């Protein structure tokens, strides 16, 4: 059986129960076959240091995603659902206010996907969620390269004296041995820091860092080349913090930072990396309470649609 | 099999695919048994004379309904899902921009419910949708009394030279012989009119009218008594236009009118009428683009939850 | 020639150039005859002590007024334009940032109406504008009773060391001898004060004060009787500050105060006073930047429509 | 030394650093004398079950409070700062995402006030914060009666399998022996429940419950009498959840419930209870992201101003 | 007689009845002479496939246009009203909910302008309106080249089984023989499609397509050259869908698509094409309910002001 | 004593009394030593020609500034508070509605800073405020070069017949002899004008003008070079109107103009000019009522943080 979106010619895109790009909702992935990817929500914001509200991110992304899930993506010249089958797996059942229980739930939910050979496309949720995702990823795939688009390093050791927070996930991912640190890249980082040493934190972990100023200077094609060179054919987990985008493009987020990127730049970058061996994706930090006209959610949904297009593109490459 | 909401102690109310009060989504009601009621969305706004946007009403009501679907309703002392089973049947597939095709789709969708002995709780959508609903109702139940809460009569003969518009449904319902006109009541009507004859229009059709000024003067308990006396034990279709409420309580609607009612008054009124023989419900004209903090959608969802509570209450009466 | 609104059956209410309830726009009232009332905007907020933005009040009221200008008002059983003719006279040309020049412009604009025997229905704008309006009124009508609905006294002597401000108009109106002080009434005043003496300020000027707590206690009908007794058949200028309404009904204003009145209460009060000899009206302090779903502007427009209905009602009384 | 607000005649109310009603900010209360009350913010939302964001509540309340802090309150005929002296003590340093650390910080911060004989007026923040406040209160005052205005019981035993959550504080307060349970009253409770037993939970703890329907039926004066009779001269901690108010008056909150109360009703109720022996106050669940025109924050600030007026009123009673 | 905007030095730009850039409102163009261009609103959204609400587009554009109508445009070094005279012709009287009647009204309204030798600058409204506009254009000008800025092709054959929809106008315009298909250009198209064949649809009709990715790659000056080469001196109808702009610049629209263009890019493009022989303009799909700070409406108004500047520029060229 | 921000690791950034980047609030700068810079608010909007509301600009900037005040700025490789000490000096006490009194207050407030050898970083407020600031600057520094980022010239002679308005400050600054006119530069000017002579007004005063079109064409690095060449080592006052940014980046302002600049471009420009001898800064025209997700305030706060970083950078240069 193929899982694909409802035909928008038959029922208007604004109607019906809201799943991601109108994919079938399948609650228990263990009972299904032939699923190549699954979109899963992680409605969690307990680890946010400033604005809360990303627990409503998955719902907002689903709402607007009807606008961007058409089956043919000319950027990859791909009829997506000819080459792959996908579902909306609903949301992980987090425990609001309780960090470790929620992390366990996230690791559990993601493991089910990885173990069933389904590529996860997770949507958040605050960025701390990527740590338990990577724990799940490691169990199936071993160490992976981190491909990290963000305006922040997120490699602090602690925040308010606590280890787990949306500013710390990659410090712990590296320390727990989940990553190929030297193959990992952080792109788009910008803005001020608590301390000069924060800047060195990522480098000390072995990560490669391409700051925003450099991106603006050399352009997206050059960044694509740099990233491809670093990562090569290592397995990759791609995590995209929506605040990589400029606040004009993504006002609906928790810790926006000016000097960011347009959606055209983001698309150019993501599309350029389509041949990487990406085993999992997430898109985090969408906070609909601060959005306007759903443009942040739309950017998130469209980028996730690009992720799905890539999965289909790579499937098609295998086939053809 | 019993259909009831997801347990909010197990997964947080903000998570998961959004159905009405987290009821199971069942697309094809013909394949299910033991369903007492079905919530169905009618995302339609082609017939709106002023603000459009009610096509997003069902989605907004589903989103906020998680906040108001707990299983025990003390107002009726009823554990709802002990006495009845219900589903979210999704949305009718309307044809945006095309009136008669959409009406046919609505009549068809509602007929399926009526014919399967399921009490529909429809959510709109502009008020024109009640006409095709009543056509469906008639096929199963014959003539019914209309119990109509609104700030407008909606009994114009035409608008911009056209018969079908959200200002005309009850003129046509009466003329098509779908209603027990003399048993029908319009409550809460207020505001100015195009012409003095508009005021007489409803009376000429035989409807009973209780204007807002009278409601404010004599109080809700007295209105309850008047309505019960008029309707008696006739079968009833209850239609609730959210602009019955004051704009302070329901800013998110297309043609708000000041001098309306509080939600406390609406609850008192609806609860007082719980023993009527109501065979179908709708709640219309929720327009989320003009809402704040989802209070209009919440009022709509809570009133629909009251409708469901009544269905359970009457089931329980039969049993006990 | 009769001036009346465009027929909404012919062109939809959301279309066309926005004048108040779609009345004809007549720039120069000296050239017209048979005009009974004129709506005029005073887009002025230089005298606001807290939030600015009421300069956009007239525009917002015009935008939403299409929703509430139907020709028959059942509350007075009156076909308005059978008995009177009215126009939208546009806006007074204020001088933003300059108090006295603006006051002169307001006095000049209003005088033109009074002198042409046209009842003005002004819309603001901050409440300081009523002082220059009363100066104009005095030139034609001599001293009038002030009928003042508000949550604030507005009878301070100065603010930040300056005489003219939206907290001071009625002190100066009284001191300039424009009012029948003992026949004047302030209704709905509530909330805290800079000093106990502020409370006595209005009383020392001779004004009658009915505070909000009393209104809530004795009800609107009793207030109607009190006001009628005080004013009798004296000529009246009615000024309505939208913050008389509760913030739930009128969030779009500069200095909201909780514990206010519903629109149903305001309508009951205004309608009860229809037989007073009112020679001019204004409605002030609508600030659309803080509004939701235009409910504040709608309340303002509907109250102004009631003022117009009263003008017609009194015309009809003369005739019949 | 007397601590009182900045004079608004000297500097406009919209200017300056934002403290509650422009009171002096005093960071360390141990170093000050002659302080009768202190406003303190608890920017905490980790325990919210639905919408997060109340961590911005204190900031929003401070912003709008400039509008409602004038020194004379006619409702008590009291010149507040003639009889008492007060400060803004800033915010408790919570640990976002970590419940028990935050509870400890809250207990610590509140204890400092209680121990220095300062009446706290806390502003939240989600309702779980009242539990650590009561722990602090107990250390100084022993058991107190709880006077609780809310639409929810907040006496669940657990939520998502966890003890501490904004739905559980009063279960634990009662179980920890912090309250005079039989002298405690919950007012305004309404809406549906997870289970019929939830309704009995409060009663089993010994609390008195006056549900919303009863309030609407018998009126605020009767409620005042009932509450006074139950509590008598026992020491009281008053906690006010802003969702006691109707959503039309307080859209900016996390779990709104229709059928609530107007601000006029709340003022009548609060003022009627001014002679109770209240040793601490809080006002919780203001969530500015869902507000409009700051009306929710304004209602909160005005109610807190009423609390302060009561403190002054009781001081004045002692003196006179 | 010359028709030109009100002088903003005499009356502030925020005041007065709102016409486009404060031009005189002339209802019946048959009675006027010396009018070179007319702005006309088409408040129509019946054909929208996703978000409705563009019926309020013309009103929103008029409101903000006061900010951008100054008489001298340095980009063309032109004192506009020295070379041309223009009016606001109000709105076409559409029939909400009824497609063909509305199309007839639009064709009729536009024909009146074309026939009186007035260049129309229409503002919408959903994009289906361009089809009846082109029917009117054809009657006066014969076949014209279409110059189409958009993120969507709008060349579907049907939608929900219906011919007329805002996704289909240019299929029918081409099929009805209204266009010089081979001289027509679509610029800025991007995003995914229902089917690969959608992409070929425009090409099959003979249209030239310059997709967004190419625009970003080669830059606006190169696009200008390509367009000029294709069109040459053929008569042109220019249609600008506001979703050509990136959602960051134009959130207020019905079907936004990321990866779009900045307003600086749009200005560069439009200005580069000033010498084309453009006989009519429209600007469509402004939906103010989704806008912020009126930036979408401002972009629309400024682009329309550029269109007017071009008309003046070409008039000046003729003269000089 | 060093004045520096609160440590965000100790108390969360969303908590506490809101000062600019959590700097200490010092009301009276005469009593402090070792202060290098002071942030000061000028909550003034009486001179706005279109939208009012910038009086709430300083408060909004303070609120969001917690997000952008971390102590290390990698763009300058500077640990800011190692090299300089700064405070939030609160707001100047303006007189709302009264221009000259407010100007005197601004000149007085700024003089106190200049005279105490403190570099002011003022935040507005409408742009007229820069005139009284420059009067204060002149008293200490004599004539300075104006470095002016804006979309408007602001060199009109009068507006509505009045000299002082936010469209006129630099005409008067030049005429009063406060500026080195030939060393002054206006960058980013764009859009239409009342008259061609407006364009020549700045040139006649001797100012250098770099229009937006040129900026877009030659790029920010080239502009940096041009500005450095013009100004050399002359003392500079830098004034930044937030409408220099594109409306997509700064919707929250009074007179937005399309075709503007991204925040990345603004940062590149500002950072390039770090070696200029800048003696005072302001950032004006932030109007939070039109903002979304606080992105305009965040851009303002971040730019002000850059100004502070420059002050530290130049201090460090002196030391090292």
What is the DSSP code string of E38-53? EEEEE---TT-SS---
Question: Can you give the C-alpha Rg of chain C in angstroms?
Answer: 18
- Its domain, for residue D111, covers 20-319
Which runs of consecutive H residues, i.e. helices, occur in chain C?
Answer: 57-65, 80-83, 99-115, 130-141, 169-175, 196-205, 212-218, 220-231, 263-272, 295-319
Distances (CA, A) of C172 to A167, B276, D241: 59, 61, 43
Q: Cβ neighbours of residue A33 under 8 Å, at least 6 residues apart?
A: A1
Angle at D137 between CA D133 and CA D139, to 5 degrees: 120
Of E49, E193, E258, Cβ closest to residue A298: E258
Q: Over the stretch C61-85, which tens digit does the pLDDT of each residue have?
A: 999 999 988 899 999 999 999 999 9
Q: Which residue's structure tokens are 């509650």?
A: D20
A300 interaction partners in chain E (CB closer than 8 Å): none
Beta pairing, strands C78-79 & C72-73: antiparallel
Chains E, D in contact: 3+ Cβ pairs under 8 A? no
Q: Tell me, rounded to whole angstroms, the distance of Cα E55 from its chain centroid.
A: 15
Q: Tell me, rounded to whole angstroms, the distance of Cα C295 from its chain centroid.
A: 17
Q: Tell me, rounded to whole angstroms, the distance of Cα B229 from its chain centroid.
A: 21
Phi, psi of E6 (to 5 degrees): -60, 145
In B142-231, which ranges are E strands? 145-149, 185-189, 208-211
Averaged pLDDT for residues B58-66? 97
Number of neighbouring beta carbons within 10 Å of residue F233? 11
pLDDT over 90 (residue A308): yes
pLDDT over 80 (residue C2): no
Contacting chains of D (3 CB pairs or more, <8 Å) are A, B, C, F
> What pLDDT does residue D196 have?
80
pLDDT over 70 (residue B1): no
E248 interaction partners in chain A (CB closer than 8 Å): 246, 248-249, 262-263, 295
Q: Which of residues 18-77 of E touch C (CB under 8 A)?
A: 18-19, 25, 41, 43, 55-56, 58-59, 62-63
Q: What's the complex ipTM? A: 0.96
d(CA F304, CA F133): 17
d(CA E68, CA E72): 11
Averaged pLDDT for residues B159-183? 96
Q: How confident is the model at residue C200 (pLDDT cuts 50, 70, 90)?
A: confident
d(CA C215, CA C189): 10
In this prediction, what percent of chain E has a pLDDT beyond 70?
100
d(CA A132, CA A95): 14
Would you say residue E12 lies in a domain?
A: no
Would you say residue A295 lies in a domain?
A: yes
Would you say residue B5 lies in a domain?
A: no
Disruptive mutation site among A10, A15, A96, A123 for chain B (greatest number of B CBs within 10 Å): A15
Q: Which of residues 232-251 of D touch C (CB under 8 A)?
A: 246, 248-249
Report the CATH number at residue D43: 3.40.800.10
Contacting chains of F (3 CB pairs or more, <8 Å) are A, C, D, E
For residue E6, the 8-state DSSP code is P
> What pLDDT does residue A1 have?
65
> What pLDDT does residue F1 have?
66
pLDDT over 70 (residue E1): no
pLDDT over 90 (residue B236): yes
- The more confident residue out of C160 and D137 is D137
Disruptive mutation site among B7, B8, B13, B15 for chain A (greatest number of A CBs within 10 Å): B15
Averaged pLDDT for residues C131-157? 97
Averaged pLDDT for residues E284-301? 98
> What pLDDT does residue D52 have?
98
Domain count, chain B: 1
User: Are F251 and E295 a contacting pair at CB < 8 A?
Assistant: yes
Would you say residue C6 lies in a domain?
A: no
pLDDT over 80 (residue B53): yes
- Chain D contact for C212 (CB, 8 A cutoff): yes
> What pLDDT does residue D310 have?
97
- Of A286, A282, A207, the closest CA to residue A243 belongs to A286
User: Are C90 and E10 a contacting pair at CB < 8 A?
Assistant: no
User: Are E193 and A74 a contacting pair at CB < 8 A?
Assistant: yes
Of C47, C56, C101, Cβ closest to residue F97: C47
Strand partners, A278: A236
- Chain C contact for B292 (CB, 8 A cutoff): yes
Q: Over the stretch E169-197, which tens digit does the pLDDT of each residue have?
A: 999 999 999 999 999 999 999 988 888 87
| Three-state secondary-structure class, residue D121 | strand
pLDDT over 80 (residue B212): yes
Of D53, D56, D99, Cβ closest to residue A97: D99
Longest dimension (CA), chain B: 57
The pLDDT tens digits along chain D (320 residues) read 678 898 877 889 999 999 999 999 998 888 788 999 999 999 999 999 999 999 999 999 999 999 988 899 999 999 999 999 999 999 999 999 999 999 999 999 999 999 999 999 999 999 999 999 999 999 999 999 999 999 999 999 998 899 999 999 999 999 999 999 999 999 999 988 888 877 788 999 999 999 999 999 999 999 999 999 999 999 999 999 999 999 999 999 999 999 999 999 999 999 999 999 999 999 999 999 999 999 999 999 999 999 999 999 999 998 87
Would you say residue B281 lies in a domain?
A: yes
Of B159, B194, B262, Cβ closest to residue C70: B194
Averaged pLDDT for residues B58-82? 94
> What pLDDT does residue D1 have?
66
Of D12, D16, D59, Cβ closest to residue F96: D12
Q: Over the stretch A12-24, which tens digit does the pLDDT of each residue have?
A: 999 999 999 999 9
Q: How confident is the model at residue A223 (pLDDT cuts 50, 70, 90)?
A: very high
Of B55, B96, B289, Cβ closest to residue E160: B96
> What pLDDT does residue C3 have?
86
Strand partners, B120: B38
**Å between A186 CA and nearest CA of chain B:** 30
Would you say residue B75 lies in a domain?
A: yes
E211 interaction partners in chain A (CB closer than 8 Å): 74
Q: How confident is the model at residue A171 (pLDDT cuts 50, 70, 90)?
A: very high
Q: By the 8 A CB rule, do F86 and F247 touch? A: no
Chains A, C in contact: 3+ Cβ pairs under 8 A? no
| Three-state secondary-structure class, residue C279 | strand
Q: Which residue of D has its CA nearest to B11?
A: D160
d(CA A298, CA A304): 10
User: Are F160 and C49 a contacting pair at CB < 8 A?
Assistant: no
Q: Which residue of E has its CA nearest to F52?
A: E14
In total, the C-beta contacts within 8 angstroms joining chain C to chain E are 72
User: Are F249 and A251 a contacting pair at CB < 8 A?
Assistant: no
> What pLDDT does residue C160 have?
86
Of E15, E25, E91, Cβ closest to residue C93: E15
DSSP string computed for E224-253? HHHHHHHHTTSEEEEEEEGGGB-TTT--SS
Q: Which residue of E has its CA nearest to C45?
A: E14
The number of helix segments (H) and strand segments (E) in chain B equals: 10, 10
User: Are A96 and D160 a contacting pair at CB < 8 A?
Assistant: yes
Strand partners, A87: A38
Q: Over the stretch F262-287, which tens digit does the pLDDT of each residue have?
A: 999 999 999 999 999 999 999 999 99
Distances (CA, A) of C233 to B300, C139, C205, C273: 47, 19, 21, 11
Angle at B30 between CA B60 and CA B64, to 5 degrees: 15
Q: Which residue's structure tokens are 């329901």?
A: B250
Q: Which residue of E has its CA nearest to A245?
A: E248
Q: How confident is the model at residue F67 (pLDDT cuts 50, 70, 90)?
A: very high
Structure tokens at F103: 């100007």
Of D17, D56, D59, Cβ closest to residue F19: D17
Q: How many CA atoms lie within 13 A of F223 on its CB side?
A: 29
DSSP string computed for E165-216? STT-HHHHHHHTT-B-GGG-EEEEE-S-BS-HHHHHHHHHHT-EEEEHHHHH
Backbone angle region of C208, left / alpha / beta, with phi > 0 → left and psi within -120 to 50 → alpha: beta
User: Are B63 and A63 a contacting pair at CB < 8 A?
Assistant: yes
pLDDT over 70 (residue C205): yes
Averaged pLDDT for residues B177-181? 98
d(CA E54, CA E57): 5
Beta pairing, strands D208-211 & D37-42: unpaired
Disruptive mutation site among E6, E8, E13, E17 for chain C (greatest number of C CBs within 10 Å): E17
d(CA A292, CA E289): 10
> What pLDDT does residue E273 have?
98
Q: Which of residues 248-267 of E touch F (CB under 8 A)?
A: 248-249, 262-264, 267
Contacting chains of E (3 CB pairs or more, <8 Å) are A, B, C, F
Q: How confident is the model at residue F194 (pLDDT cuts 50, 70, 90)?
A: confident
- Of E306, E316, E285, E9, the closest CA to residue E123 belongs to E285
Structure tokens at D311: 């403190």
> What pLDDT does residue C6 have?
87
d(CA E292, CA B116): 47
Q: Over the stretch F128-154, which tens digit does the pLDDT of each residue have?
A: 999 999 999 999 999 999 999 999 999
Q: By the 8 A CB rule, do D15 and C163 touch? A: no
User: Are E160 and B95 a contacting pair at CB < 8 A?
Assistant: yes
Of B15, B19, B62, Cβ closest to residue A94: B15
C248 interaction partners in chain D (CB closer than 8 Å): 246, 248-249, 262-263, 295
d(CA D45, CA D99): 10
d(CA F108, CA B69): 61
């Amino acid at each position: 059986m193929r899982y694909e979106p409802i035909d928008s010619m038959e029922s208007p895109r604004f109607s019906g129960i809201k799943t991601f790009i109108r994919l079938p909702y399948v609650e228990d992935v263990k009972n299904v076959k032939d699923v190549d990817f699954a979109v899963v929500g992680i409605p969690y914001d307990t680890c946010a240091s400033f604005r809360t509200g990303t627990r409503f991110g998955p719902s907002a992304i689903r709402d607007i995603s009807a606008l961007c899930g058409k089956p043919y993506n000319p950027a990859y010249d791909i009829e997506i659902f000819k080459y792959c089958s996908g579902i909306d797996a609903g949301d992980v059942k987090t425990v609001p206010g309780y960090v470790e229980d929620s992390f366990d739930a996230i690791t559990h939910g993601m493991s089910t996907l990885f173990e069933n050979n389904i590529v996860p496309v997770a949507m958040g949720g605050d960025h701390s969620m990527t740590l338990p995702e990577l724990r799940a990823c490691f169990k199936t795939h071993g160490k992976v390269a981190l491909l990290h688009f963000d305006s922040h390093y997120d490699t602090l050791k602690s925040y308010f004296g606590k280890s787990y927070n949306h500013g710390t996930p990659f410090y712990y991912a590296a320390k727990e041995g989940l990553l190929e640190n030297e193959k990992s890249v952080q792109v788009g980082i910008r803005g001020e820091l608590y301390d000069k040493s924060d800047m060195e934190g990522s480098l000390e972990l072995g990560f490669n860092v391409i700051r925003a100023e450099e991106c603006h200077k050399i352009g997206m094609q050059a960044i694509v080349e740099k990233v491809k060179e670093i990562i090569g054919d290592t397995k990759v987990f791609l995590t995209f913090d929506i605040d990589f985008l400029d606040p004009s493009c993504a006002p609906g987020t928790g810790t926006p930072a000016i000097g960011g990127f347009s959606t055209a730049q983001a698309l150019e970058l993501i599309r350029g990396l389509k041949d990487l061996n990406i085993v999992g994706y997430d898109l985090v930090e969408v906070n609909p309470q601060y959005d306007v006209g759903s443009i942040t959610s739309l950017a998130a949904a469209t980028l996730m649609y690009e992720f799905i297009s890539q999965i289909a593109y790579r499937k098609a490459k295998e086939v053809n």
